[in-house]
Each structure stands twice: as structure tokens, then as C-alpha cells.
Structure 1
Amino acid sequence: MPCSKKPDYLQSLLLLQWPLSYLAIFWIVQPLLVCLLFTPLWLLPALYFVWFFLDWKTPNQGGRRSAWVRNWRIWTYFRDYFPITILKTKELPPSRNYIMGVHPHGLLTYGAFCNFCTESTGFSKIFPGITPHLATLSWFFKIPIIRDYLMAKGVCSVSQPSIDYLLSHGTGNLVGIVPGGVKEALQSMPNTTTLILQKRKGFVRTALRHGAHLVPTFTFGETEVYDQLVFHEDSWIFKFQSYFRQIFGFYFCFFYGQGFRQGSFGLLPYHRPIVTVVGEPLPLPHVENPSPEMVDKYHALYMDALKKLFDQHKVQYGFPDTQKLLFL
């Protein structure tokens, strides 16, 4: 059920800045840079584009995070809009590296972003010595300025070279991966607990190759903040969504939430609590070339651990005791 929280217009505006900032960079700042090339200030954008091409390896080599950006005060308003919290169930010793499974994807992964890409929920204090990275689509890092904004918050490319680099340079690195990917966004509806995970085993293979521990997480409330219109696979709208995904790498979803006024419809998410529960790390051996049977074994163990984590906390966070976690 929607929360009865009174509307806070400042929180709503600062929440909107998150998606709107990327649109502003893409549609305003980038065209402005190109236009400046034909003015007396041409040297400024020219230097940036030269640096952009020389710096192309950075997204695959740990990125360029900024403590200043991660600690912006606007993220506390972002957090308090829902609100968003993180719950630690076990320690993550900084002497190891970790791959964290982020479930579910939701529509805009509010919980994962707030908890792992900002310090508004106190990640560094809760898990001292751990450096979090949230992996996302690689093509974002080919877009000028947007790639720098993403890296400043600790976002990294989901490409294999990027993850390999983070897991092979020192310890205390945590890479958050959403195994369900953009396809799972189409499963994002209130009261559903369906994850696309049955055949998503690449993250387990990568963890074995580096001896990284697997950390299951489940974000309760992530799929509750929007309603979505879902279409049959034979419909022309679903085919359009699939075609859109082939071109841009993500699905065009038809969703709605609330407006600025309480009880109105709009594109703002509902005021519903989001809680990311971080489970116990699953130790994996270091195997350079894991066999398919070994990958299957630890993938099954990971799914069992995730199911156990969900079952332990589902009633506390609003699901009935009979609710099951389903894997597709």
C-alpha cells in the first residue's frame, strides 16, 4: 500500500534531478560543447575531447570515483523521499574481494544507486574498508561527460575487462552486478518476486576465476515504487520494446507513479520504503578455468543463499509468509 507520507516538494525536485541531470548533459551540455568549438572559446571543448579520447581506458580500470560527489547533500533528500536504508546481516572483511548480486533490478534501481553510489546511507561506515562499485551498461561510458559523472559516483562498466581489473588489483573491492539485467525490468511490478537468474551464471564464473566471494542482496520495496503496464509477447508494443532494447540496450517501459500532489498520477515514484538487505558472503575457491559443473554448483548455492535471505526477511518488509522467490 502507498505510504501516507506528506509530500515534500524539495525532496521530489531533488529526486528528479537524478534522471534529469543525465538528460540535461545529453541534450544541453554536449551540444553546447560542440557549439563552443566554433567560438573564441574553442580551445576548452577541444581540450576536453582530446582528453576524452586519451582517457578511454579509465572506465575499464577502476574508474575515477569522487568522495565529494558521493557525499553531496542532495543524496540525503533522495534517500529520505522513500526512504532508503541498508541492512547488514554479516561483516564483509576488507581482506577479500566481492561480487555482489543486486536483486531485483526494478525500473530505476533506486536502492542500489543510493546505497552503493552515494554515502547517504553510510555504506563506508557500515562496511569499513570496502570500496563499492555498481556495474552498468558499457555504452554509457562512451558518452562524453556522462561517463565522468557516472565514474565519480563509483559506477563502473559491466564489461569483463572492467570487472577483471577491479577484482585483480588489491582487496576490499566490491562489484555490484544486476544479473537479471534490463530484461528483469519488465518483471518489475508491485507484489511480484520474480528474478531472471536461472541461466545467468557469468558472474559466478567470474567470481571463481578471481576467488571472489559472492554476496547475495535483496532490495525490498524496489518493485513497489511504480506501477507498470505489461504487454503480451505477441503484441506489437512488446515487439517495439524488444526492438528498442536491441538498439539502445534497455527496454522502453510504460510505467507510472504519483504526481507532486498527494493522490495524483505522475512519473514520481510512490513514497514507499526501500530496504537493501546484504546477506552473508558465500566463499568461493580460486579456480583459473572453472568447469561448467563447478559453475553450476556454486550458482545453485548462490540461489539457495538468496532464497534463504529473502525468506528470513520477507515478512518484516511487507510480504506474506507464503510469498515465494521465483527464478526464471
Structure 2
Amino acid sequence: MAVPVTLVALLHWRGAPVAWSFFISTCFKGSCERVTWMALVAALVFRTLMHDMDIMIIIYLVSLLVYSNSCLVAWPHSETVQRFLQNMSAYFPAELGGEYESVLPERSLLSVHPHGMLAAGYASTIGFNSHFSPRPVLLVNRILREHNALFKLLTDLDGGFATLDGTTLGKLLQSGKNVALLPGGLEEAAVSQFGRERVVLKGKTGFIKRALQAGSRVHPVYVFGENRTYFTFSLPAGTISSWLNRVGMPTVVGYGRFPWVFMPFRTPLRAFVGAPLVLPHIREPTEKELEHWCEEYKNALVKVFDDNKEEAGLDAKTTLEIL
């Protein structure tokens, strides 16, 4: 039996495991997911034996079964994996500057820009930097954190990651933990261009609101060099691309070191931590209060950029694009 070319292309689409995992784990919970997949695989195995169906489809579906089910497992912490990820982050020559010594050991929020294609500076200069003790909890995209089996495995074993959403951020800050996040998210990744200093702040108010509710200190952080880790190509701006970014599907592609184009350029990353914005403790901030502190945050981020751009090797006339 010949397999349609379109079906083969769909099955070998590299995003299929993540898409299937998200779909199945949303529609079915716990053992029901396993039963559903096992029934599907068993039926297709029988069809293969009886009708000479392409065995590669069976192999692929079995792989998807293992892949998606692994997203349901809570893996235990492993110091070995933590050291491995820390060593991996040393791939980039990373340097930390600015007022990082002013970061208190509790209730501090490190807000990192730009996202870039890989968010390399987020991990190398902040996440696995021994200057921060205790290490801040790193918040990452929900689909990546919960529905990408390999990433979930590594982040579970590392033990220092959590899902990026308002509830999680609020609970972590209220409990007194230090937290790091990329407020620009995938929208910021989507507008990333090689050599362009560009961030996205429009509509990014949630992290400031949670920080106000916890009375936290917010440190703007800018990573110079992040936009030189890949040559990137963004899809045209529009409703579809913006929507895809919001639901966790990045609309940016790029290439890195030749001949392994998926490997980023080993460019120096220099992160500068700004002075803290000491936010008041406001249980329910008004729209005016939120707008005021978001503006204060924007000004603080621009100051970090302007104060350190020449030290980072940029021309004094370089300006930060804020979208």
C-alpha cells in the first residue's frame, strides 16, 4: 500500500511531536492518553501486517507514544544534569556586569532582554551564573516547559525551572524567591535581527503587576551579543504571526555556525544588571499605577542600555528600539 506523500511529510514534520503531545495531553489525562495511543498503535500494527502498510509510520507513532507520555512524568532532581547544563552554558564567552551585587537573595525579579532566537544570554549570564546565590528560578514558555519531552526532562532534572505564567510568577515572588524571566517572550524573539538592538514592551505589563502585588525589586537586564548568536529571518508582521507567537509557536527562523547551522555563533555575551526598581506593595494596582511603573521600568531598561553600550563595543549613537 503506497503512503501519500503529504502524510509522510506530516509525520516527519519536526514540530509534530510537540503538537501531538500538546493536543493529546489536553484532550486526555493520565492513563487515558496511554490507552488511546496504545490502541491506535495496535490497530496500525495489525493493519501493517494485514495490508503491507509502511512500517515507518508504525515506528514513528511508537516514538510519538514514548515522546508524548514522557511529558506526563515528573522527573527527579539530578545534580549531574545540573552540572551538565551549567557546562553547556559555558559554550558562550559570558560576562556579567552592572549592579548585579545589588541583587538581594530574596524577592528580586531579574527581567532579561532581548529574547533572541535561543535566549542564550538568559541561561549563560543569569541562569547558571555563580554570582547569584541562591540561583533564581528560571521561567520558560509553557509549551516548551511542559510539552517538549526532551526540554521537560532536562529542566525537571535540573530543578531550577518553572512554567512562565502569572500565577506561577506571583506565587514564587510571594514566597520570597528570586525569579528570572524574559518578558518580551516569543514576540521579542520574532522581531530579532542580527545586529539590531530591539526589545518588545508593548502589552508586557503582567510581570510588573505581579511584582507590585509582591512588593518586589525589579532589575532590568540587557544582554549585549544575544542578537548575534544567529542570522535570523522573521515572518512578515501580521495577525497570524502575532497570534502564533502568543500561543507559543515562534515565527522566526535562522542559522548559525557553518556547517552545523543549528549551532549558534560563539559570540561573546555581556549582560548588564540595572539598579533595582523598588516597587511598593500594592495588592490590587490600578491601571494608572500599573502604567506608571511600566513607564519607570522602560526608562530603567533604556538607562541600562545607554550606560553600558560603549563598554559592550557598540557605537555611542546606537539606540535601543522599543516596540
Q: TM-score, normalised by structure 2?
A: 0.71
Q: Are residues 1:279 and 2:274 paired?
A: yes
Cα distance, 1:252–1:286 mapped onto 2, change above 3 Å = same
Identity rate of aligned residues, in percent? 23
Partner of 1:105: 115
Give 1:207's match in structure 2, choosing from 207, 211, 214: 211
Partner of 2:251: 252
Structure 2 unpaired stretches of 5+ = 1-13, 20-33, 43-64
Residue by residue, what CA displacement relative to the aligned partner does 1:49-98 show, whole Å, maximum 9, x if unpaired? 69947x6xxxxxxx9755442222x6435424x3122225242122x302
Q: Are residues 1:166 and 2:161 paired?
A: no
Deviation at 1:242, TM superposition (A): 5.2
Q: Are residues 1:138 and 2:142 paired?
A: yes
Give the superposed CA RMSD: 3.6
Residue by residue, what CA displacement relative to the aligned partner does 1:125-181 show, whole Å, maximum 9, x if unpaired? 4133x3311211223343375434223331211122211221122x3x222221211
Q: Are residues 1:91 and 2:102 paired?
A: yes
- Pairwise mapping of residues 1-328 of structure 1 onto structure 2 (< 5 A)? 52=72, 66-72=78-84, 75-80=86-91, 82-89=92-99, 90-94=101-105, 96-117=106-127, 119=128, 123=129, 125-128=130-133, 130-143=134-147, 145=149, 146-153=151-158, 154-169=160-175, 171=176, 173-233=177-237, 241=241, 245=245, 249-260=248-259, 266-328=261-323
- Residues 231, 255 of structure 2: 8 Å contact kept: yes
Distance in 1 (alpha carbons) for counterparts of 2:199 and 2:156: 27
Residue by residue, what CA displacement relative to the aligned partner does 1:153-211 show, whole Å, maximum 9, x if unpaired? 31211122211221122x3x222221211011122112211211133111111100011
Deviation at 1:260, TM superposition (A): 4.3
Cα distance, 1:186–1:100 mapped onto 2, change above 3 Å = same
Residue by residue, what CA displacement relative to the aligned partner does 1:214-235 show, whole Å, maximum 9, x if unpaired? 11000000001211224544xx
Cα distance, 1:299–1:67 mapped onto 2, change above 3 Å = farther
Structure 1 unpaired stretches of 5+ = 1-21, 28-32, 39-44, 56-62
Distance in 2 (alpha carbons) for counterparts of 1:26 and 1:201: 28
- Residues 186, 250 of structure 2: 8 Å contact kept: yes
Partner of 1:41: none
Who wins on radius of gyration, i.e. which is larger?
2
Counterpart of 2:219, as a letter, is V
Counterpart of 1:253, as a letter, is V
Q: TM-score, normalised by structure 1?
A: 0.70
Identify which of structures 1 and 2 has the higher relative contact order when contacts are C-alpha pairs closer than 8 Å and 6+ apart: 1
Counterpart of 1:251, as a letter, is P
Kindly indicate which of the two structures has a greater share of residues assigned to helix. 2
Deviation at 1:323, TM superposition (A): 0.8
- Residues 241, 253 of structure 1: 8 Å contact kept: no
SS in structure 1 of the partner of residue 278 of structure 2: coil
Partner of 1:17: none
